Structure 1
Amino acid sequence: MAAARVSMPGATDSNLEFADYSLYSNLSDDELMQLAIERSIADAQNSEPGTENSKTPVVLNRPAGPRRAPPSHHPQQQTEPAACPANPPRYSLMGFIQTEMSESSFFFRELEPIVKAISEGDVGSVRLLVKQPGCNLLKPNKDGWIPLHEAAYYGQDQCIKIILRAQPGMINQRTLKEQTALMIAVTREHLACVERLLEKGADPDIANKEKETPLYKACEKENPAMVAMLLNYGASVNKNCIQGWTALHESVCRNNVEICEMLIKAGAKVSMPNMYGITPIFVAAQSGKVDALRMLLKNGADLNSQAADGATALYEACKNGHENIVEFLLSQNADANKPGKTGLLPIHIAAQRGNDSIISMLIPATSKARVRRTGISPLHLAAERNRNYIVEFLIEAEFDVNAMLSEDRSMMYEDRRSTALYFAVMNNNIDATTMLLKAGANPNLDTFNPLLVALRQGCIQTVTLLVEHGANVNAYIPTHPTTFPASVMFCMKYLTILKYLMDNGCDALSCFNCVYGSNLHPPIKTRRNQRYDPDEVVEKACVQFCEVISTENYSRWAGPIIDVLLDYVGHVKLCARLTEHLDSYHEWQCIKEKAMPPRPLMQLCRLKIRNLLGIKRLKKINRLPVPPRLIKFLNHQEREQDF
């Protein structure tokens, strides 16, 4: 070892010669680090302006030529030498210590002589070092790397030849990450090293910690020459990685047809599934690789194979919006009526994702009978996701607008919704609601009437649409019985909507039929956190109108609400609780007087005429030769300015 020149503090023009760095041989790693830091700080202080620098940096056996940082040994295997890591690999205490002052101080241990020679491509030095008695080619560093791994990493095929001549039995030795020299050379794409190792008997099927083989890595790198070389040396083509992925899966995912064909010629199974049942054809459809897909089908892949969750290649292509893949699969007669474990067909997922081009391709290939058997229509999914253009497509294709969710699917929703119309109304989607109603959707099929949803939202436009298309204005909630229509309860804060319902035949008289009459009413029971439960069998007492109007939410509106209702009834008697409300505000006394018998004859005549004509005829009354004033009177329009 070359002598080190050391300038010691306090010594002037004197040099100490050492045959080794024995001055520091008794120091631990931490002590060496501390010494280097102290020297660096002292030198920095002495080099300040106005200060005489009597010390020079300590340099122990600085090698000639440019410095090289040790390689960073990690799974990614960087293609270029990395910057000095925070904790460089440790090879031996016989390494070298170097400190350097720049903007900050760095301290690292250099490589062992043979590793340094390998990294610099110094074949002559390697040849000499392996012959020395003290050179241990099997001694690993902290990452389990031996010089053979270093030679594979740096692409030094001649160094590999020299090392294996000296120690041929180490050829398949692994690092702590279970990488062989062959795996490292493939990962770094050093073709000459790969060839050298294979010639010397390297096993091409030894996998790393993730169960990836060199062949798998070569496919990942998309290196046909390396793939061909590994196959020529007998690499197993169907070996699985940790999740069952094969080299063919990887090549298909990268759409590398050349490598795919090489693998298939070598015996790769085109329909081999991974641990999730995913075959290469599924991978091609999922990732949109049409060239690889064509190649797989040409080589006998099963077009309709299903993954563990029942999904087919067509389903996955629809899910990911690959229009070209869907078009190609359908041209090859892919089954569009094959459901997955969820029961959904490709057209369902396409409707959910909102791809109109894919929908247009699937409609001719999809059986409406099979759609019915799934218990859900694509219209449901399109309406749920507000895919209006898909709703329009499906209506034009004559999908049933009144299709009902199956019982098990309906139970997934707390309100037990069943129709596509309900989804549209729930989303307050007026366009979809209009399209469905015009196409013949029945607004009275759901357990919880869509009209009640629209009333709760206070959307007069949706309410009008539903009522005009026959929605039941006297809708009730079967699981929450009331003595009056639930539709009244949901629009008490919207007097205009309440009047609209009354004009269209809503039952106002039931609001005044109180079982307690003029007697003392029992206290109102507050109900909080009640959940909708259609299966609840506990008998419930019907809720009275006077109970609802007495709640905090509606009591302030009691007078105007009663006033509107009185216009649509004849002789009624206010119960004690309603009277109490009207007595609570002086301004409401006129409403109380309005309810007192006898009711005006004109009011009774209006009710009688309306009852005889019926709602449908009243809507067409403008076409009859009747005086406009009478029409206005029959339609309760004489007080319109009040609302």
Structure 2
Amino acid sequence: MATPGISHSSSAGSSLTFEDYSLYRNLNDDELLQLAIERSLIETHGGTATTTISTNSSTTITTKSTITQLPHRHDSNLNPSSTNRNKPQTSSTQNPAAVQTGAHYSSPNPPVEKPPDPKTFVGTMSRFMTGSGKRMVAYYKADGTLVHIAPEPEEDEEPLFRAIREGDSSRVKALAMCPGTNLMLPSKPGWLAVHQAAWFGQEACLRMLLIAQPGMINNRASHGETPLFAAVSRVQLECVQLLLENGADPDIPNYEKETPLYKACERNNPAIVAALLNYGAEVNTSCTQGWTALQEAGGRNNVEICEMLLKAGAKHNVRNMYGIGPLFTAAQNGQLAALRLLIKHGADVNTQAADGATALYEAAKNGHEKVVELLLSQNADANKPGKTGLLPLHIAAQRGSDTIASMLIPVTSKARIRRTGISPLHLAAERNRDDTLELLINAGFDVNAQLSEERSRLYEDRRSTALYFSVINNNIDAVSMLLAAGANPNLDMFKPLLVAARINCIQTVQLLVEHGADINAGIPTHPTTFPAVYMFSMKYLPMFKYLLDHGGHALSCFDCMHGSQSHPPIKIRRSNWNHDSDRILPGMLQRTGVQFCEMISAPSISRWAGPIIDILLDYVGHVTLCSRLMEHLDSYSGWSIIKEKAALPRPLMHLCRLQILHLVGRRKLKKLPLPGSLIRFLKHQLSLDDN
């Protein structure tokens, strides 16, 4: 009997869903039915739902009905873990809502005992599932009145197919031998009684059917499966043997070109594979995607099946649609035993997929250490790249596989690495693989290796060194490790020091400065008349002062092309930079670059103008403040003292300090035979007032 197809379209909050009923999973079926009936008969309907019922007569009935929605409950009584399932609770404690509305079976339209016929019923049908998994259906009239609610009727099953499924051989024999029974009549597209018997492993029933109608032994069902294929799919060995003995063709595939032998390898069953091979099954047939039985067995590491297939003539060099052979699949999946067997039978350890990846590359990518060790012991080439141009060592560094990387380092050509345009150090630094990074540094890899132009263009900031990757990841340990190994902090177009200042990491800034980072470097794409690093550090005054203490230029900050004259208005335009202080740069670019007075006028920085100018004055001699800087100092009365500080002439002690620093240098101050307080003054650690 065909089951009517039903589609629902309901307004929000009115449809009956599985989740609503699952909230009442602790009720038994009788209590749930009673609750649903009570609510449908008594409570106000929550909304309308459109239900379409398709019947066998090819007519479609579309009506609107009201469907009651059970309220969501969150109390502990509805939690399966807190409910004693072996002791039913009373409705008074389990379902308080049910107590409020008693059953009124004297209503004008009480439910009928016999469910309506779905083929002839005029109205709507709502399907749902109880908490115990039972499928239910509710019948409603056009006005929304509940007619009946009951378990969903099961499809009618032909007597012969039911008897086969239940293993009733005497019943099957009686039906099969009955003159009125047509054994070639399917229960569903192409599914004959012989398929049913093979699928459910009913050997006795299958034997009777083959005696009654031997001609259907190789018939194919809707997906092209034969009875033999069905038996193999369900691992029914006795039925497989019976079918083969009665002439079943072992090489008829399904519509995906999967043969019974391929399916037996997929099911990992050596006994069925042996039975099929004994009856001459073809071993090198490929499925739609090009997989053979050997490739499937190798991918599942079943050495017993692989040995049988190889003895039967299976070829280990057949490739699927992706150019992948059995050895590649075994290496990719880490199947060591199958890999050994294939190598023993002559499989090529340097086999490559269509995209160029080798078995060694795939094993390294998937972290199969034993497989990598085996392949290298068989002289697998570690210098063949994958489709991205990366070598197995690159992939090991990217994954942080130290053991695999240590095996690959001795057999990987550094010249070949250079030709790839990227060092394993870059990938280890990018993924924060500190242990692998240390391993590569100790192995002698160049810490100053730079990305090729092609690979550098893949990054918007045009980064080029491993140090840059570590700085932008804020990985202080990796930064320290690379700098200690001799990494140059000035090779990237956008200097790592700028990145460290931008993310406000003072530790990284100190490490970079100590190892020679150029504090006064600029940005080619955003030229400024002052050190570019100030753009990212002016709001963090301790860092700003640290940079000035260690050689940052201060005089350029007071060099303004407009001087005491009025400045043109600043055109502010947003850019793609994330930092607030950078958003005005593109609109202010001139031939000479952005001036300091323009930069400090950015809305996010201008409120810091006074303290910034105050710090800068400690590092310059006689300077004249331009009209814009004066405007900033005049904007707040508390900054008037800064204007006095800038007035000429500057104090002699301050000018002497600048001259001594210029002649001696900060690093040699400790060697001067001067008192400690004076040394601290020269280092800007004490002010004039303190002295």
Please state which band the TM-score falls in when normalised by the shorter chain: 0.7 to 0.9
Moved more, 336-345 or 199-208: 199-208
For 2:657 and 2:151, the matched residues in 1 are separated by 100
Residue 619 (str. 1) matches residue 667 (str. 2): yes
Say if 2:220 and 2:226, in contact at 8 Å, map to a contact too: yes
Q: Once the 2 structures are TM-superposed, how far is the Cα of residue 454 of structure 1 from its aligned partner?
A: 0.8
Q: Verify: 1:172 aligned to 2:223, yes or no.
A: no
The answer (yes or no) to whether the contact 2:334–2:368 under 8 Å persists in 1 is yes
Residues 542-590 of structure 1: CA deviation (Å, up to 9, x unaligned)? 1111011011111011011111111111111111100111111111111
* Aligned residue identity for 2:419: R
8 A contact 1:354–1:387 mirrored in 2:
yes
Deviation at 1:391, TM superposition (A): 1.1
TM-superposition CA deviations, 1:410-439 (whole Å, max 9, x none): 111111110010011111111100000000
Paired residue total: 548
Deviation at 1:124, TM superposition (A): 4.4
TM-score, normalised to structure 2, is 0.75
Check 1:369–1:199 CA distance in 2 against 1; reply closer, same or farther (3 A cut).
same
C-alpha distance in 1, partners of 2:670/2:649? 31
Question: Is the CA contact 1:444–1:471 (under 8 Å) kept in the aligned structure 2?
Answer: yes
Aligned to 2:8: none
The alignment's C-alpha RMSD in Å is: 2.8
Establish whether residue 592 from structure 1 lines up as the match of residue 643 from structure 2: yes
SS at match of 1:559: helix
Q: 1:564 aligns with which of 605, 615, 619?
A: 615
State the match for 1:579 in structure 2: 630
1:506 aligns with 552
Offset at residue 635 of structure 1 (A): 1.1
Q: Distance in 2 between matches of 1:531 and 1:568?
A: 30
Aligned residue for 1:177, secondary structure, equals coil
* 8 A Cα contact 2:172 2:205, kept in partner: yes
Q: Does 1:335 align with 2:386?
A: no
Tell me which of 289, 292, 296 is aligned to 1:246. Answer: 292
Question: Structure 2: how far apart are the matches of 1:84 and 1:240?
Answer: 43
Partner amino acid, structure 1, of 2:542: T
Which amino acid is the alignment partner of residue 670 of structure 2? Answer: N
Say which of 621, 645, 658 aligns to 1:607.
658
User: CA offset at residue 209 of structure 1?
Assistant: 3.4
Residue 284 of structure 1 is matched in structure 2 by 330
- One of 464, 475, 483 as aligned partner of 1:429: 475
Looking at structure 2, the residues matched to 114 and 503 of structure 1 have their Cα atoms a distance apart, in angstroms, of: 96
CA offsets per residue over residues 142-194 of structure 1, 9 Å max, x none? 24311111121232334334333443332221111221101011112222321
Residue 632 (1) aligns with residue 680 (2)? yes
Aligned counterparts, 1:211-610, within 5 A: 211-530=257-576, 540-541=590-591, 542-610=593-661
User: Matches of 1:482 and 1:108 in 2, distance apart?
Assistant: 80
The alignment partner of 1:134 has SS state of coil
> More deviation in 258-267 or 129-138?
129-138
Residues 609-643 of structure 1, C-alpha deviation per residue, up to 9 Å, x if partnerless?
Answer: 211223xxx2132134333233222211113999x
Distance 1:119 1:484 in 2: 87
Contact 2:384 2:391 in 1 (8 A): yes
Report the equivalent of 2:73: none
Distance (Å, rounded) in 1 between the aligned partners of 2:626 and 2:276:
94
Matches within 5 A, 1:142-153: 142-153=188-199
Contact 2:597 2:629 in 1 (8 A): yes
Give the Cα–Cα distance (whole angstroms) in 2 for the partners of residues 332 and 285 of structure 1: 13
Q: Structure 1 residues 116 and 465, CA, compared in 2 at 3 Å: closer, same or farther? A: closer
Distance 1:436 1:121 in 2: 73
Per-residue deviation, 1:409:
0.8
1:426-457 CA-to-partner distances (Å, cap 9, x unmatched) read 11111100000000000000000000011111
The alpha-carbon deviation at position 497 of structure 1 amounts to 1.3
Counterpart CA distance in 1 for 2:169 and 2:611 is 101
Partner SS state of residue 225, structure 2:
coil
Residue 125 of structure 1, CA deviation: 4.2
Deviations 1:331-360 (A, max 9, x none): 111111111120111111111111111122
Deviating more after overlay: 357-366 vs 159-168? 159-168
Query: Residues 638 and 113 of structure 1: is their aligned pair in 2 closer, same or farther, counting only changes over 3 Å?
Result: closer
2:160 to 114, 120, 123: 114
Which whole-Å CA distance do the structure 2 matches of 1:173 and 1:129 have between them? Answer: 20
**1-structure distance, mates of 2:525, 2:200:** 76
What secondary structure, in the 3-state scheme, does the structure 2 residue paired with 1:511 have? helix
Report if the CA contact (8 A) 2:526-2:589 is conserved. no
Write the deviation string for residues 381-412 of structure 1: whole angstroms up to 9, x where unpaired.
11111111111111111110001011111111
State yes or no: 1:139 paired with 2:190. no
Deviations 1:23-73 (A, max 9, x none): xxxxx989xxxxxxxxxxxxxxxxx9x99xxxxx99xxxxxxxxxxxxxxx
Query: Following superposition of structure 1 onto structure 2, how do residues 56-75 of structure 1 map, counting pairs within 5 Å?
Result: none
Larger radius of gyration: 1
Equivalent residue, structure 2, for 1:188 = 234
- Asked if the contact 1:276/1:307 (under 8 Å) is kept, the reply is yes
Report the Cα distance in structure 1 between the residues aligned to 2:628 and 2:683, rounded to whole angstroms. 30
**CA distance in 1 between partners of 2:674 and 2:360 (Å):** 64
Contact 1:480 1:540 in 2 (8 A): no
Structure 1, gaps ≥5 residues long: 1-27, 31-47, 52-56, 59-82, 88-102
Q: Is 2:681–2:687's contact at 8 Å kept on the other side of the alignment?
A: no
Percent of aligned pairs sharing the same letter: 64
User: How many Å separate the matches in 1 of 2:641 and 2:577?
Assistant: 40
Structure 2: gaps (5+ residues): 1-54, 58-102, 107-112, 115-132, 138-148, 579-585
* Preserved CA contact (<8 Å) 2:426 2:469: yes
Per the alignment, in what secondary structure is the counterpart of residue 108 of structure 1? coil
